[in-house]
């Protein structure tokens, strides 16, 4: 589902170039839950954005569902993301002026989806947010916010979910809940790539890898 | 979910920033509409002032005309037409002419196209010894005015003396103890006293007036007169030379003597009065024009300043809105929103802001324009109303211009928003 081949990324920082990734390889198959571990600043987010078609790698190749998003025109790449991917972030990134329902529906603006409001409501129910449907994100707890973000990420039936520290702002109970939902998604055939320094991810992941000196080190 | 949903929901969510923007664009549009309205109120007021002034001049002139008519009547005619051979020295000393000319001259003059002379009065005068009373008097034969065929008919200035009657000067009727209705004989002819004049302190006091034809008969000068008194017409009364030359071309063997200088002075005063008033009106006009120019330049400067300030302010608001919405922009772009759609969200907001601001601005501009316009010129309420200053084209312009300005002002921030790299935003965790 996702293949990162020999990915290198060098940022030009104020004190000269910073090599973040060097010839990293990683693949995630459909139905697979992969966790990437590593200390803060090791390049996890960079790797995830590259995998998500949001940041072009300096060298190497990215294939999502067999297609290289960086060979597409920018607008085509947008459509590609809207069709195939789901994103979850530590900061939730909910749209503050939209209700829970509208946040989940957001992608319907750019992607055709059958019966969008029914699907959105089903997801809201699934994440036990029925009573929060018409609330604004600011009225929710952090756990609820991340569940809304998960619902939004699932709304377009993605093939791959990319999660960047999804439990970073959550307590243990909510963190476990998030990993359970992600595991459930892979059980239904979806692929998940989580980058995190949360060691509990290993409990849910099929595979955990480490990012060290810009390289992916296989573990279990 | 459509783009407009994002726009409206965001506006409702961040009301304050939006309201500040609306107020700002309303101020710009308000300044523009207000300036136009105020200038229009000024024009309406100017029109009113000048109309009033013109009407006043006309009324004053009408009054003066009437005064003039009366005054001239009392003072006598302005020119006397005498036969050419009349010795002026004699005429001045005797106060009447000794030479005669045909009475027909009067008709010749009356039928000519002469327009400078409006009133013509033929007369035959002679100093005689009143045989029945042994008094020396001046006998004047007159027959009232001969209307000028070519000017508008005017009320006769002199009441004609009916045939068979006599009008007596003050000294005569006093000393002869005669009063109106009495009979008196003059050179063997019986006359009824038609009128007794008040004292005038002039030769009129020893003058007796009878009808011209009877005077001609009594003095044995049938068909003859020795003077034509002419009252000049209103359009040329000031120019004696013109009157004189006109008369001389029609009646070459006559001479024209100016008389009644006092009336002339009056007439000239009237001319200068009119000139003064016209000059004052002209001055008024110039003042109003000057005022208009200075108000216009003030208004245009104000409009430019307010507009510039408003644009900068809206740009600033848009910029801070974009900063505030970084997270939103990042996630929307990640989810698959195209840069153009992000641009559309921000531009649509500017359009909504502009439309609303434009409408508020038009209302505020009309209100302040009318109020200021009326106050500055101290116009009575109702002189400037919505219906006579409101300009549909201006309103349309404002409604189109305001969103346009708003989009222009927030264009750069909107482009920044659309051009933001989602990776930059999403990596900052
Ligand atoms: N746009 C950028 N320009 C320069 N340096 C960057 C940029 N993005 C990330 N980096 C640097 O790359 C390194 C890896 O960052 P990141 O992938 O966010 O790490 P992690 O998510 O593992 O904490 C950090 O040292 C960071 O400072
Ligand atoms: Mg990170």
Structure tokens at B96: 């009447």
Say which range, B35-39, B43-47, B370-374, B376-380, has the weakest mean pLDDT: B376-380
Does residue B399 share a domain with residue B293? yes
Q: Is there a contact between B274 and B58 (Cβ–Cβ < 8 Å)?
A: no
A49 touches chain B (CB under 8 A): yes
Exposure string for A8-42, b = 16+ CB within 10 A, e = fewer: bbbeeeeeeeeebbbebebebeeebbbbbbbeeeb
Does residue B126 share a domain with residue B211? yes
Contact B335 A108 (CB under 8 A): no
Quick check: B94 pLDDT over 90?
no
Query: Is residue B321 classed exposed, middle or buried when 0-12, 13-18 and 19+ CB atoms within 10 A define those classes?
Result: buried
pLDDT tier at B321, thresholds 50, 70, 90: very high
Containing structural domain, residue A62: 2-219
> What is the pLDDT at residue A101?
95
Q: Is there a contact between A215 and A22 (Cβ–Cβ < 8 Å)?
A: yes
Residue A6: which CATH number? 3.40.50.300
> Minimal Cα distance from B340: which residue of A?
A75
pLDDT tier at B160, thresholds 50, 70, 90: confident
> What is the pLDDT at residue B92?
78
> What is the pLDDT at residue B236?
42
> Which residues pair with residue B166 across a beta bridge?
B193
Pairing of strands A207-212, A33-37: parallel
**Of B259, B285, B300, at which residue does a domain stop?**
B259
Does residue B365 share a domain with residue B223? no
Tens of pLDDT, residue by residue over A161-191, are: 999 999 988 999 999 999 999 999 999 999 9
Region B165-186 average pLDDT: 89
pLDDT tier at B375, thresholds 50, 70, 90: confident
> What is the pLDDT at residue B74?
46
Does residue B120 share a domain with residue B49? no
- Report the number of distinct structural domains present in chain B: 2
- Say if B317 falls within a structural domain: yes
pLDDT tier at B234, thresholds 50, 70, 90: very low
Does residue B302 share a domain with residue B241? no
Q: How far apart (Å, rounded) are the C-alpha atoms in residues A108 and B2?
A: 8
Does residue B410 share a domain with residue B345? yes
**Of B259, B282, B301, at which residue does a domain stop?**
B259
- Report the number of distinct structural domains present in chain A: 1
Does residue B303 share a domain with residue B203? no
Residues 53-82 of chain B with CB under 8 A from chain A are none
> Minimal Cα distance from A162: which residue of B?
B334
pLDDT tier at B337, thresholds 50, 70, 90: very high
Contact A168 B429 (CB under 8 A): yes
pLDDT tier at B77, thresholds 50, 70, 90: very low
- Say if B68 falls within a structural domain: no
**Of B259, B290, B321, at which residue does a domain stop?**
B259
Contact B429 A98 (CB under 8 A): no
Contact B427 A45 (CB under 8 A): yes
Percent of chain A at pLDDT above 70? 99
Does residue B209 share a domain with residue B322? no
> What is the pLDDT at residue B109?
81
Quick check: A94 pLDDT over 90?
yes
Tens of pLDDT, residue by residue over A123-152, are: 999 999 999 999 999 999 999 999 999 999
Containing structural domain, residue B96: 79-259
Contacts of A52 in chain B (CB under 8 A): 334
Does residue B247 share a domain with residue B98? yes
Q: How far apart (Å, rounded) are the C-alpha atoms in residues B162 and A102?
A: 111
In 3D space, the residue among A49, A177, A104, A96 whose CA is nearest the CA of residue B325 turns out to be A96
Distance from the A110 Cα atom to the nearest Cα atom in chain B, whole angstroms: 6
3 state SS of B1? coil
DSSP chain A: -EEEEEEEEEEEETTEEEEEEEEEEEEE-TT-EEEEE--TTSSHHHHHHHHTTSS--SEEEEEETTB-GGGS-HHHHHHHHHHHEEEEETT----TTS-HHHHHHGGGGTS--SSHHHHHHHHHHHTT-GGGTT--GGGS-HHHHHHHHHHHHHTT--SEEEEESTTTTS-HHHHHHHHHHHHHHHHTT-EEEEE-S-TTHHHH-SEEEEEETTEEEE--
Does residue B94 share a domain with residue B40? no
- Say if B69 falls within a structural domain: no
Mutate to test the pocket of ligand 1, among A14, A42, A48, A164 (most ligand atoms within 8 A of CB): A42
Nearest atom, ligand 1, residue A49 CA: 17
B331 touches chain A (CB under 8 A): yes
- Say if B373 falls within a structural domain: yes
């Amino acid at each position: 589902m996702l293949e990162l081949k020999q990915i290198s990324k060098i940022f030009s920082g104020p004190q000269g170039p910073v090599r973040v990734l060097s010839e990293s390889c990683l693949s995630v198959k459909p139905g697979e839950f992969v966790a990437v571990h590593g200390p803060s600043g090791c390049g996890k987010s960079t790797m995830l954005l590259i995998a998500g078609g949001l940041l072009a790698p300096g060298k190497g190749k990215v294939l999502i569902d067999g297609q290289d998003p960086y060979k597409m025109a920018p607008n085509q790449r947008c459509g590609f993301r809207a069709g195939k991917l789901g994103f979850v972030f530590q900061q939730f990134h909910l749209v503050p002026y939209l209700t829970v329902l509208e946040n989940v529906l957001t992608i319907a603006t750019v992607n055709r989806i059958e019966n969008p409001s029914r699907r959105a409501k089903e997801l809201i129910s699934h994440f036990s947010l029925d009573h929060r449907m018409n609330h604004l994100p600011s009225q929710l707890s952090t756990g609820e916010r991340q569940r809304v973000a998960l619902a939004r990420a699932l709304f377009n039936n993605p093939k791959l979910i990319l999660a960047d520290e999804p439990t970073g702002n959550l307590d243990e109970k909510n963190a476990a809940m998030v990993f359970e939902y992600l595991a459930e998604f892979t059980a239904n055939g979806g692929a998940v790539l989580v980058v995190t320094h949360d060691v509990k991810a290993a409990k849910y992941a099929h595979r955990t890898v480490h990012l060290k000196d810009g390289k992916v080190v296989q573990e279990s | 979910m459509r783009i407009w949903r994002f726009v409206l929901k965001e506006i409702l969510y961040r009301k304050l920033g939006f309201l500040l923007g609306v107020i700002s664009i309303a101020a710009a549009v308000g300044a523009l509409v207000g300036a136009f309205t105020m200038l229009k109120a000024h024009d309406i007021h100017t029109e009113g002032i000048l109309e009033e002034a013109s009407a006043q001049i006309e009324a004053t002139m009408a009054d003066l005309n009437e005064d003039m008519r009366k005054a001239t009547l009392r003072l006598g005619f302005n020119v006397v037409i005498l036969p050419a051979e009349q010795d002026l020295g004699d005429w001045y000393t005797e106060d009447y002419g000794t030479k005669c000319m045909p009475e027909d001259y009067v008709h010749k003059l009356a039928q000519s196209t002469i327009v400078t002379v409006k009133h013509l009065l033929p007369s035959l005068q002679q100093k005689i010894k009143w045989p029945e009373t042994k008094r020396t008097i001046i006998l004047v034969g007159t027959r009232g005015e001969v209307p000028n065929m070519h000017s508008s008919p005017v009320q006769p200035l002199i009441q004609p003396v009916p045939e068979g009657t006599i009008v007596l000067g003050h000294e005569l009727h006093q000393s002869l103890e005669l009063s109106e209705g009495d009979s008196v004989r003059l050179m063997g002819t019986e006359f009824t006293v038609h009128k007794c004049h008040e004292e005038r302190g002039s030769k009129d006091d020893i003058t007796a007036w009878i009808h011209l034809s009877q005077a001609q008969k009594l003095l044995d000068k049938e068909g003859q007169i020795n003077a034509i008194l002419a009252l000049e017409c209103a359009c040329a009364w000031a120019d004696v030379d013109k009157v004189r030359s006109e008369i001389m071309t029609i009646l070459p063997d006559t001479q024209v003597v100016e008389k009644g200088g006092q009336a002339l002075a009056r007439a000239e005063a009237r001319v200068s009065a009119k000139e003064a008033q016209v000059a004052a009106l002209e001055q008024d006009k110039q003042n109003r024009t000057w005022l208009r120019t200075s108000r216009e330049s003030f208004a245009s400067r104000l409009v430019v300043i307010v507009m510039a300030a408003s644009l900068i302010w809206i740009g600033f608001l848009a910029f801070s809105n974009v900063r505030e919405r970084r997270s939103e922009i990042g996630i929307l772009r990640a989810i698959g929103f195209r840069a153009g759609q992000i641009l559309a969200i921000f531009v649509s907001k500017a359009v909504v802001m502009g439309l609303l601001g434009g409408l508020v601005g038009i209302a505020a501009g009309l209100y302040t324009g009318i109020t200021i316009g009326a106050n500055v010129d101290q116009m009575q309420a109702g002189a400037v109303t919505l219906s006579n200053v409101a300009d549909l084209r201006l309103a349309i312009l404002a409604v189109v211009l305001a969103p346009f300005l708003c989009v222009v002002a927030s264009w750069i921030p909107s482009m920044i928003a659309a051009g933001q790299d989602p990776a930059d935003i999403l990596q900052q965790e």
